[in-house]
Chain A
Amino acid sequence: MTAGLRRFAANRLAVAGAVVLGLLVLFAVLGPLAYPTDQVTTDLASANLPPGADGHLLGTDALGYDNLGRLMVAGRVSLLVGVLAGALATIVGTVWGAVAGYVGGVVDAVMMRVVDAGIAIPAIFLLLVLSTIVRPTVGMMIVVLGLVSWLVPARLIRAEALSVRTRDYVVAARAMGATHRRTVFAHVIPNTVGTVVVNATFQVADAILLVAYISFLGMGVQPPTTDWGAMLNDGISFIYQGAWWLILPPGLAIVLVVCALNFVGDGLRDVVDVRGRAA
C-alpha cells in the first residue's frame, strides 16, 4: 500500500483534510486531558463570559460551562455518532446492494423497490418525528441515522455488483462450485471497495450534518450531553448580545470536519484504485 499512500500524498487537499480530521479527533478525545474543565455542574455566576475572562479561553456559555471544554465534549458525540452511523449505513448498504446486484432478477427488483420506498421518505422528518416520541440517546441516534442513510450506498454498490458479477473471475468462481456466499464476500464486495470506501467518508460527513440539524432543532441528544449542533442551538439565543464565541467555534468545527471528510474521500478514490497496488 506504500504506492497508494504516495498517491494519497500527491493530493494536497486530501492530505490537508486528513490532518484537520486527525487534529479534530485529538482535540475531542485527548483535549480534556490538556485542558480539564467541569462539564457537569452549572455555574450561573460565570455565565456568558467572553473569551479570556477568568481563565476561560473561549469564554463560557449560558449555564457557565467552559466553552472550549464543551466544544471538546460535544465533538466526541458528533464524531462518534457520525463515524458509527456512517459505518452502519455503509455495511448495511454494501451487503444489501451487493446481494441485490449479484442475485438479480426478482430478488433484485424487490430489494431495490424497498430502497426506493425508503429514499422517498425524507430522513430528517422521520428523525424529528421519532425524537418527539422517544427521548434520543447517543446509541439510538447512531442506529436511527445508520438505518435511514444506508439507502444511497445500497444503490451505488448494486450498480457496481451488477458489473462485477459478469466478470470472468466471478463466473470462474461459480464454475468451480464456490457457494454464492463465498462469491459475494470474496469477489463481489472486495471489488466494489473503491466505491464503498469513498462513499463511507461521505456517509460520515452526512451523518455528522444530520446530527447537527436535529440537535440544532432541539430534538437531538439532551443536556448535559451535547454535540456541536446542540451548542449552536444553545448559543443562538445570545447572538444579539454579541456572544459570537458560542456560535462561531461549533459552526466552524462542523464545516471543518465535513469539508475534511469530503477531501479525504477524494484522496481515497486514488488510493483504492487496484492497479496501483504494490506497484
Chain B
Amino acid sequence: MSGGPGNGATDDVVLRVHDLRVTFASAAGAVEAVRGVDLEVRRGRVVALVGESGSGKSVTSLSALGLLPSTARVTGTVELADGDVVHDVVTTPEQQLVDLRGRVVSMVFQEPMTALNPTMTLGDQVAEAVLNHERVPRAVAHERAVELLRAVGVPDPGRRARQYPHELSGGQRQRVVIAVALACEPDLIVADEPTTALDVTVQAGILDLLRDLAAQRGTALLLVTHNMGVVADLADEVAVMREGRVVEHGPVARVLGAPEHEYTRRLLAAVPPVPPASAVVREPGAGAAPDPGPPTGGGETVLDLRGVSLDYRVQGRHVRAVERLDLTVHAGEVLGLVGESGSGKSTAGRACLGLLAPTEGEVLLLGTSVARARGRARRRLLADVGVVFQDPGASLDPRRTVGESIAEPLVVHGRDGRRLTGPERRARVRELLDAVRLPSGAERRYPHEFSGGQRQRIGLARALALRPRLLVADEPTSALDVSVQAEVLDLLRDLHAELGFGCLFISHDLGVVHELTDRVAVLRSGRLVESGPTARVFSAPREVYTAELLASVPAPDPAQQRARREARHRLAAGAVG
C-alpha cells in the first residue's frame, strides 16, 4: 500500500495526530484553524475535544477522516491504525480514504435529521453502510442492519427498519446514525456534538449508549463537544482547545477536577452550577401544587396567564400545544419556564407577546387582555413588553444598522405619547448601548460585524429601549458559548436589578434557570407539571418528571456525574416498577 503505510502497530493506539496544522484559504487571507495539535486515541478509550466555537475542535476531528474541504491546507501527520498497517490520512489518496471511512473510522454527526437520507428506509441506510465495505447479499446486509438497530437500542428494530427518518424521534434518529457508524465495526468513531441537538433526557440515553459501545466493543471514541457535563459523563481523557491549540490535556478527573490552565478554569467557572440531582421525590404524584406566588410580598402582577390553552393549525387540523396553563409574573421577579422541545414553552411565550391568541383562557398583560386589545390600546400595551430571542443572528434585521434596530421601538411608539426627535433618539440609543456595554460607534455598524454575544446584547438593548415592565426572553443564551453566555446572563441580572422589570425566562437549560430565576414552572407536553420557588423545586421536586429532568443534566465533575447517573437510573427503574 502506498500513501504512507507505517510499520505494524504494536500498541493499541487507533489514532495518532502529530503536529497537525490546518489553514483555510479565504478571500480575507489565510485563516489558521488548527495550529499544531498532538493527540492520541487508544482502543476502547473516549477522548473528548472541548472548546468554544472557532477553537478548531471540529476541524481536528474531521481531519481524522480526511473530510476537510479542498480549501484546507494540512500539514503534520494523522495516523490511523488499520490492523497492522498505519495510514497517514494527510497523504493518503482519496480512493484509499474511501476504503478506510466506515471500515476503520466512522462519524456521528450533530444533526440526526440531516445526517439521514429522508427518502430511504432506515434499514436500507444501515445496510448500505454494510454493503459499502462487504460483499454480502442484500438480505444478509438487511439482517445485519436489524441487528445493529437492536444493538443501539431502537425498540422493535424489525419494524423500524422499514420506516423512514421522519417517523422517528430525534433521539431514535441519532441511534440510527450511530448504527450506521457502527455497521462495519470501525476501530474509531468520531462524534461531533452527538447530543447537542437533543433534549437532556434523550441526551442521557445516547450518552449511556456510547459509553456501553466503548466498553463492550472496544471502539475508540473521539468526542467533540462544548458541553463540560457531557465530557464528565463519558470521557476518559480530555483535550481543551483554544484558538487552534490544545491548552490542556489529561485524564478527565484531573482536568475537570484540578485544571491547571487558566483558560480551562475560566471555561469551567462559566458553566452554571447544575442543581443537585435527587433520586427521591417528595409527595410523589401529589399533582401540580398550587403556585404559592412570589416568596416576598412582591410587586404588582405584570403577566397573568389564566387557564390558557393554545392551538396550532397543522394542515387544517388543530393541534393543542399548551393545555390550561396558569402562570404569573410579578414586577421585579424572574420566572423560569422550563421544558424540553415540544413542551409548548416557546408557544406560551408567543402568546404572552400577543402573537398568538389563546383558544381558551386569558393572557393578561398588566391586567389587560392582549388578545382582545385592538389598535392603539394594543400598541400601548405592547410598548410595555420587551422580547429577546434565541438566535442572535436572526433577531436583528441584517439590512438595518444596529442603531436603527435599537431605535425601532422608539420610532414605533415614541415616548410619553409623542414622537422623539432624531437627536433624542440617538441619545437614547447611545445610552442603551452603554447599558449593554457596547462601545459607542456600534450604532453605525451592521449586525454581521458583531459576534453572537454582542448581537444578543444588541437585542437586549432593543428590548429595553422603552423601559418595559415585562421582558420575555426565549432561550436567550442557548446559541452562545458558555463564557459568552455567562457575560450575557451577568448583564441581564444587572439590568434586571437596576430596572426591576418582571421577566419570563424560557429555557431548556436547568443550570441557567437555577442560577437566574426566583421561581420556576416546569412544562411537559403543554401541561404544567410543577411550579414554585426555584430553590424549592430544584432541591425537592414533587414530580418524578422534574426529578428525571434534573438528574439528566450532566454535571461537569466526573464523580458527581456518576452519582447523578445512578440517581437517574434509579428514578427510571422506579418509574417502571
Tell me if chain B binds chain A: yes
Residues of B within 8 A of A171 (CB): 350, 355, 387, 389
> Closest A-chain residue to B393, C-beta based?
A168
- What are the 7 A-B residue pairs with the smallest beta carbon separation, nearest first? A177-B382, A168-B395, A177-B379, A175-B353, A168-B389, A168-B394, A169-B397
Task: A174 to B387: give the CA distance in the assembly, Å.
Answer: 11
User: With an 8 A cutoff between CB atoms, is B446 at the interface?
Assistant: yes
Contact with A along B160-176 (1 / 0, CB 8 A): 00000000000000000
Of B385, B394, B459, most buried by chain A (CB within 10 Å of CB) is B394
Task: A174 to B355: give the CA distance in the assembly, Å.
Answer: 8
> Closest B-chain residue to A174, C-beta based?
B355
Residues of A within 8 A of B398 (CB): 191, 274-275
B455 to chain A, nearest CB (A): 11
Residues of B within 8 A of A174 (CB): 355
Task: A172 to B408: give the CA distance in the assembly, Å.
Answer: 10
Which of B354, B391, B396, B446 contacts A175, CB < 8 Å?
Answer: B354
Interface residue tally for chain B (C-beta within 8 Å): 36
Q: A176-B382, A176-B466, A186-B397 are in contact. List 19 more A-B contacts (CB 8 A).
A: A167-B394, A172-B387, A172-B389, A175-B387, A176-B386, A176-B409, A176-B412, A177-B379, A177-B413, A178-B408, A179-B412, A182-B412, A186-B400, A187-B397, A190-B399, A274-B398, A274-B448, A278-B449, A279-B449
User: With an 8 A cutoff between CB atoms, is A193 at the interface?
Assistant: yes
Of B350, B380, B382, B383, most buried by chain A (CB within 10 Å of CB) is B382
Assuming the contacts A187-B397, A190-B397, asked whether A175 and B379 have C-beta atoms less than 8 A apart, the reply is no
Contact with B along A156-169 (1 / 0, CB 8 A): 00000000000111
Residues of B within 8 A of A175 (CB): 353-355, 382, 385, 387, 472
Task: A167 to B405: give the CA distance in the assembly, Å.
Answer: 14
B413 lies within 8 A of A275 (CB): no
Assuming the contacts A176-B408, A176-B412, A274-B446, asked whether A169 and B395 have C-beta atoms less than 8 A apart, the reply is yes
Task: A168 to B353: give the CA distance in the assembly, Å.
Answer: 13
Contact with A along B366-404 (1 / 0, CB 8 A): 000000000000111111011101110011111110000
Task: A176 to B459: give the CA distance in the assembly, Å.
Answer: 12
Residues of A within 8 A of B (CB): 167-169, 171-179, 182, 186-187, 190-191, 193, 274-275, 277-279
Residues of A within 8 A of B389 (CB): 168, 171-172
Task: A171 to B408: give the CA distance in the assembly, Å.
Answer: 13
Contact with A along B483-522 (1 / 0, CB 8 A): 0000000000000000000000000000000000000000
- Per the 8 Å Cβ criterion, residues 23-82 of B in contact with A are none
Task: A277 to B390: give the CA distance in the assembly, Å.
Answer: 24
A173 to chain B, nearest CB (A): 7
Residues of A within 8 A of B379 (CB): 177
Residues of A within 8 A of B381 (CB): 177
Which secondary structure dominates where chain A touches chain B?
helix
Task: A167 to B398: give the CA distance in the assembly, Å.
Answer: 11
User: With an 8 A cutoff between CB atoms, is B419 at the interface?
Assistant: no
B462 to chain A, nearest CB (A): 7
Residues of A within 8 A of B445 (CB): 278
B446 lies within 8 A of A277 (CB): yes
Task: A171 to B472: give the CA distance in the assembly, Å.
Answer: 13
Contact with A along B351-364 (1 / 0, CB 8 A): 00111000000000
Residues of A within 8 A of B397 (CB): 169, 186-187, 190-191
> Closest A-chain residue to B388, C-beta based?
A172
Task: A275 to B393: give the CA distance in the assembly, Å.
Answer: 11
Task: A190 to B462: give the CA distance in the assembly, Å.
Answer: 20
Which of A172, A191, A193 contacts B395, CB < 8 Å?
Answer: A172
Residues of A within 8 A of B394 (CB): 167-169
Task: A186 to B396: give the CA distance in the assembly, Å.
Answer: 12
5 A/B residue pairs, CB under 8 Å, sorted by A: A171-B350, A171-B387, A175-B355, A177-B380, A274-B398
Which of B380, B399, B408, B466 contacts A173, CB < 8 Å?
Answer: B408
Contact with A along B451-466 (1 / 0, CB 8 A): 0000000010010001
Residues of A within 8 A of B387 (CB): 171-172, 175-176
Residues of A within 8 A of B353 (CB): 175
A168 lies within 8 A of B391 (CB): yes
